[in-house]
Amino acid sequence: MSISSTIKIDVEQGEFTEKVNLWMRNNYDKCENESEYEEDINALLQGYKTELGGLVAIRGFVYQYYVAIYYMLKMLHKRDAWWHSVVFELMDDITLLGENQVRFVQVKTVKEEGEVNNFTPAVLYKREKGEIGSWLDKLFLNFADFNSIYRDKFIGAEINDIVVEFEIATNNTYNKELNVYSDNAAFYISDNNKLSKLSTKLADPCKVSGSKLHDKVGKEVTWCLSRFRLHHMNSFMVLKDQIINIIKEISKQDSTDVSEHILNHIFYHVMERTHNDKVADVKQFVFTKDEVQQLIQRLRPAAVRDAREYLHKQDIQSKFIQCIDELRNDFKQIPSLVKIELLQTLTWIQDEFVKKSNHDVSVYVRFLHLLFDMTSSGSERSIKNSTELTALKKSLEMITLCLTFYVDRQFLLSDARMITKQGKNQHTDLKIFTLFHANESGYFDDICKKVNDVVDTCPILQRIHEQFYCLILGSKKRSSLRKRLGVTNITDDFQEPEKIEITDKPSLIKYYDPEFLDDVQDYFYSLDDELSLRNSETIDSWHDFLETKGNLMLRKGVI
């Protein structure tokens, strides 16, 4: 699912277009015709592109914003984050500021769809026309500029009392000769011998002017290199996913769509603030910890609201409400007092959906994927036709009946690949149930094998060591059920199967076909008025059905 919305931004198109084109020329040796970027730039400025990863032509330009946002969010998320402010595009690409510490971050990207071209030491020290201007030259010169222009404004301490760090953040891989710098997470290398390959090149005087880097920086080259880290921050999409996961934790909600919505708003906020390099007030380029925290707190309600509006537009949530309302009317027609307990459980299930949607707005879509596809996904998924709507209602009805027997119950929509629910009473063991609606996609025994394969490839379901019960709805009927390898029926119609030799203790899955579930449903709906679904006699009957009927499958490889 993608939340569609227009984000209004105040950016002068001509200035911004020139800024993108300049960045592309400076960062890519082989720059395509600038007109090829126009479509992506226009989409970006119009604010219609909620999926920023779709801006393939200028993805490298967007990547530097993602690195800046990553460090902004890390201020809030990482306990040991020492910086209180992130400065974007004022000194180098990014600068992290603490009470007595500073890190200069330069972002370097390669086109991810191109050929593999690992960074080598030469890429870092190469000087065009023999003059100071290599990547590392420019990175280390930030120290001198900071000391002379910004130190008093941002930190105030004497330069020798400030901890200084240098970083190149990149989506590219690198030659093994650079491992000494990629491993330098502490930003300090004590052995100068490890620095010799780069230090020798950088210490050389320029061929034309004869100037030396250490004279311009005010520090020896080895001093700078010992504080330098080459930071591989993964591909565009991987970095984006990392940022979204951080937003989930900070905003205390589980929806990828809401988090991506917040990310896009932060992106445009940063872009508006920093697109004009001629702004006199340097505070425009500074994002403090408190400011970022307030920004997320402000954006979260709007993102949740937009997501909910999207779901309403897709009519998914309303279909769930329709099914629940119809079930409520159906339960009221049951003559026995069982209807009261069923109605109470149905209301509880509806409340659970509402509660979960406050943290994960894609909960209804996720339920459909689990119910019909056995996948854990929040991607777009509609109710395709009236048949699926009927199947949804039938599934909710079976979940309601199943959970009504238990006082202590849970309705789980985790990353497991099936709908999982569990119940427990004071004098009964925990019972774990899964449910799948085949929607006429296969015969019962074939569906059992399919479910078993899903369980064996799902780490979460593999952790269930107890026997659990799988309710199958909507499977096709055979004129005569045939035995299938690995699935044996233990009802009265079949003989006891031979024991299967296994090395590990198996996890048992018991499968129940639609006809049996219909019979169970009719049985409990027609109980005498005085009987409750939660008295010991009724619960014993329910558990007796579960133990004596059903189809048993053994599986190996339990975690």
Residue 392 has pLDDT above 90, yes or no: yes
Which residues, in sequence order, are bridge partners of residue 552? Answer: 488, 510
Mean pLDDT of the chain: 82
Q: How confident is the model at residue 111 (pLDDT cuts 50, 70, 90)?
A: confident
- Read off the pTM: 0.61
- CA–CA dist 198, 178 (Å, integer): 10
Residue 5 has pLDDT above 90, yes or no: no
Residue 128 has pLDDT above 50, yes or no: yes
Q: How confident is the model at residue 293 (pLDDT cuts 50, 70, 90)?
A: very high
Q: Walk across the sheet containing 408-412 and list its strands.
A: 408-412, 419-424, 431-437, 468-473, 507-512, 551-555, 488-489
The length of the chain, given as a count of residues: 559
- CA–CA dist 350, 356 (Å, integer): 10
At CB < 8 A and 24+ separation, what contacts does 488-494 make? Answer: 488/551, 488/552, 488/553, 489/551, 490/550, 490/551, 490/552, 491/549, 491/550, 491/551
For 4-42, letters b (16+ CB in 10 Å) and e give ebebebebeeeebbebbbebbeebeeeeeeeeebeebbe
Give percent of the chain above pLDDT 90.
42
What is the structure's pLDDT at 340? 94
DSSP structural state of residue 54 = G
What is the structure's pLDDT at 54? 52
Q: How confident is the model at residue 145 (pLDDT cuts 50, 70, 90)?
A: very high
- CA–CA dist 390, 439 (Å, integer): 10
What is the structure's pLDDT at 24? 76
State the SS3 of 1-43: CCCCCCCCCCCCHHHHHHHHHHHHHHHCCCCCCHHHHHHHHHH
Residue 458 has pLDDT above 50, yes or no: yes
What is the structure's pLDDT at 7? 60
Contacts of 68 (CB under 8 A, 6+ apart): 86, 88, 93, 94, 270
pLDDT in tens, 534-551: 888 899 999 999 888 766
What is the structure's pLDDT at 167? 97
- CA–CA dist 423, 402 (Å, integer): 9
pLDDT in tens, 210-253: 899 999 999 999 999 999 999 999 888 899 999 999 999 998 88
State the SS3 of 141-198: HHHHHHHHHHHHHHCCCCHHHCEEEEEEEECCCECHHHHHHHCCCCCCCCCHHHHHHH
Q: Which residue has the tokens 């007030």?
A: 281
